[in-house]
Amino acid sequence: MNRIDLEGRVAVVTGGAQGIGLAITERFLASGARVVIWDIDGKAMDDTVARLAKEHAGRVGGQRVELTDDAAVAAATAKTLADAGRIDILVNNAGITGGNGTTWELDPAVWRRTIEVNLIGPYLTCRHVVPVMMRAAGGQANGQGYGRIVNIASVAGKEGNPNASHYSASKAGVIALTKSLSKELATKGILVNAIAPAVAKTAMFAQMKQEHIDYMLGKIPMGRFVSVDEIAAMAAWLASEDCSFSTAAVFDITGGRSTY
């Protein structure tokens, strides 16, 4: 494993207790960062933090946060800032699939919840964390400040998966949010990029029908699912100083499925 240098950086990883978020948390810690997990699953988060603290004492913590609640996100931002003194990196990873079904069969409550978690959540975290990054950057242009935002989107946001209109729409929104926010911050030393993976084998598989899983695998020319560690490696580079002139970009990691 190549060691990306994140020494001294403070990162917030949403949904960092398991799956892709956990892999990103572990990769960031291995790269020298301090990581604060924001997760709705308090038990999973506590278990993860306790395990990781054995090797990375003083560099990993967590907060239980309902990311769709503006006040909760504001409080989490304030506490992280009070505890860690800064936030250099934000990874918007938390998300749900919302199950599968045709657009006309999906329950409106499920549709709304998927949009709330996958799109409103990243908007709210950016709403509160970006001003923190801007203050640290001192409003300086030409990359003199420092901030990195990595949004975990999906190839579904590019192409639209059948029987997943809610998930696809939410991830398309994440891509658009990335492009808009990045242009607003382009002269402030804060870079904003998205990662659009093909499906990875995580706990979210339990929310999907087998035929939908088979459909997604059949679309990947490399004939396998992406690993969470592969996604984490890309996130680590995007969070680092080595990523210095890429912003507003959507980085593909689909084994050849997406060609743009």
Query: Average pLDDT by consecutive 10-residue portion of the chain (260 residues)?
Result: 93 97 98 98 97 98 98 98 97 96 98 98 98 76 71 96 96 98 96 95 75 88 94 98 98 91
| C-alpha pair distances (Å), 36 with each of 11, 79, 169, 219, 233 | 6, 10, 28, 35, 18
Strands 10-14 and 60-64: unpaired
For residues 85 and 10, the answer to whether their CB atoms sit within 8 Å is yes
Tally Cβ neighbours within 10 Å of residue 99: 18
Under 8 Å CB-to-CB from 231, ≥6 apart: which residues?
20, 23, 24, 152, 195, 197, 200, 253
Please check whether residue 13 is in contact with residue 91, taking contact to mean a CB–CB distance below 8 angstroms.
yes
167 catalytic per annotation: yes
Q: Among 3.10.20.30, 1.10.10.60, 3.40.50.2300, 3.40.50.720, what is the CATH number of 10-253?
A: 3.40.50.720
Strands ordered across the beta sheet of 89-92: 60-64, 34-39, 10-14, 89-92, 147-152, 190-197, 250-253
Quick one: pLDDT at residue 99? 92
Count CB-CB contacts under 10 A for residue 209: 12
| Catalytic-role residue among 123, 146, 167, 260 | 167
pLDDT computed for residue 144 by the predictor: 41
Angle of CA points 166, 168, 173, to nearest 5°: 95
In one letter, which amino acid is 235? A
* Confidence at residue 212, expressed as pLDDT on a 0 to 100 scale: 81
Three-state SS string across 40-78, please? CCHHHHHHHHHHHHCCCCCCEEEEECCCCCHHHHHHHHH
User: What are the structure tokens assigned to 126, written together?
Assistant: 């950016």
| pTM of the shown model | 0.94
- Residues 122, 202: Cα–Cα separation, whole Å: 20
pLDDT at 137: 62
In angstroms, how far is CA 19 from the centroid of its own chain?
11
Residue 142 is predicted with a pLDDT of 41
